[in-house]
Amino acid sequence: MQETRVTLIYWGLSLFVCFALIPWIFNPILALKSIQALSIYGGIIVAFLGGMIWSWKNEYTSSKDLWIAICFSILGLLTALTTFINLTASLALLIISLNAFLRFEKQNSEYFQHNIKYANARNLITNLVTICCITSIAFLNNPYT
């Protein structure tokens, strides 16, 4: 099961990388659509991660954790909706959301704490998606594009 989770994490990363590379290769219209897709996809992922908390089998899971799960899901929705208002703010919100979830997962998930390979993959993926978001913000604010 752990191997499947890690493999799926990397497949999910590939879409973030593609969306982040497209703006630097293709025309500006496609670039904007690609960055919007990255932000919306990221919001969906944050909402999915929030929902994952409900399946954690942990004797320490409290109702507070379940409320936090709902907050992450709403944060994912906010990230996706903010895409249409302010794309840079949406990407910044995505960075904050993903890193906040990683921190929450490190502290509260027994699976994370007992499976080094999974924990390393989650750390790496969060860092790489953060880099994808930063490069997309750089593209949006690049005066030469």
C-alpha–C-alpha distance, residues 139 and 86, integer Å: 14
CB atoms within 10 A of CB 28: 10
CB atoms within 10 A of CB 144: 3
CB atoms within 10 A of CB 4: 8
Per-residue pLDDT tens listing for the chain (145 residues): 667 777 888 888 899 999 999 999 998 899 999 999 999 999 999 999 998 887 777 666 677 878 988 999 999 999 999 999 999 999 999 999 999 999 999 998 888 888 899 899 999 999 999 999 999 999 999 877 6
